[in-house]
Structure 1
Amino acid sequence: MTAQKGRDLLLKTDSSGTGSFTTVAGLRTHALSFNAQTVDITHAESAGAWRELLAGAGIKSASIRGQGLFKDDASDVLVRQFMFDGTIRDWQVIIPDFGTVSGPFQVTALEYSGQHDGELTFELALESAGLLSFAAA
């Protein structure tokens, strides 16, 4: 992947559960991480006593973190309600010239902050809650 502007990464959600995605915020910082747990199958006869792992057996997960400004009052209300209700909804992370990661996520953290001479910002964390898909750009 070549160098790109960080602001081009978009975070969208299916606000109503009907498959229609809308951008919820103007994010200033964002991060998407993928994780896979390992399953250790090392035993007394493992070559040289080196650890052995079982291929494809661990739990996969993804996390999204972002900080920025809500697009509008409706976006603020929507994400806040998802947080309070523990709603699992489909989200999309669009990475230009790379692709789109889509699937169910749950809002696991929502924090508001601001300085006396600046705007109110928020920080949000999402955790995957099911099968994710990737569509190359």
Structure 2
Amino acid sequence: MAAQSGKNMLLKLDQSGAGSFLTVAGLRTRALAFNASTVDTTDQESAGRWRELLAGGGVKRASVSGAGVFKDASSDAEIRALFFAGTIRNWQLILPDFGTVAGPFQIVALEFSADHAGEVTFDLALESAGELTFAVI
């Protein structure tokens, strides 16, 4: 398989909650992380006193982050409104030649910064807020 261009990894926001997805403008970097907690079931009778885990137990979560140039596009306005309202909305992260991760996320961090001689940039962090789906492209 050939290497993939990072510009093809897209973060999309469901603008109205009706399935009309809008690509988040200005992003230069994007990241997706999956995590799962464990449920420890070790007791005094565990073989060799080795830790035992409950299969399928625990809580799964996903985090999405991105950083880019502030473009004052329609996606920027929508993101600001969702953050200040604490709204949970459906998002998609498209990984080229791999698949699409989709589901409800909440914006948990929104940061803006600028250098005197540079552009205004922003950082965005999302946390999953329900069950996610994965569809192969």
Q: How many Å separate the matches in 1 of 2:100 and 2:45?
A: 43
Q: How many Å separate the matches in 1 of 2:40 and 2:68?
A: 40
Offset of 1:71 from its aligned partner? 4.8
What runs of 5+ residues in structure 1 fail to find an aligned partner?
Answer: none
**2:30–2:65 CA contact under 8 A, matched in 1:** yes
**1:112–1:122 CA contact under 8 A, matched in 2:** yes
Specify the alignment match of 1:8 in structure 2: 8
Q: Deviations over 1:75-114 (max 9, x none)?
A: 2211011111000000000001000000000000000011
Specify the alignment match of 2:50 in structure 1: 50
Q: How many Å separate the matches in 2 of 1:134 and 1:2?
A: 22
Moved over 6 A (4+): none
Percent of residue pairs bearing the same amino acid type = 65
Specify the alignment match of 1:73 in structure 2: 73
Q: Deviations over 1:19-70 (max 9, x none)?
A: 1111022211111000100000000010111100001111000000100024
Relative to structure 1, the CA distance from residue 2 to residue 44 in structure 2 (aligned partners, 3 Å threshold; closer, same or farther) is farther
**1:24–1:71 CA contact under 8 A, matched in 2:** no
Specify the alignment match of 2:22 in structure 1: 22
TM-score normalised by the chain length of structure 1: 0.95
Specify the alignment match of 2:88 in structure 1: 88
Whichever residue aligns with residue 89 of structure 2, its letter is R
Q: How many Å separate the matches in 1 of 2:133 and 2:71?
A: 26
Q: How many Å separate the matches in 2 of 1:3 and 1:46?
A: 45
Secondary structure of 1:76 counterpart: helix
Whichever residue aligns with residue 132 of structure 1, its letter is L
Whichever residue aligns with residue 69 of structure 1, its letter is V
Specify the alignment match of 1:119 in structure 2: 119
Q: How many Å separate the matches in 1 of 2:43 and 2:105?
A: 37
**2:25–2:73 CA contact under 8 A, matched in 1:** no
Specify the alignment match of 1:128 in structure 2: 128
Give me the CA root mean square deviation.
1.2
What runs of 5+ residues in structure 2 fail to find an aligned partner?
Answer: none
Secondary structure of 1:44 counterpart: coil
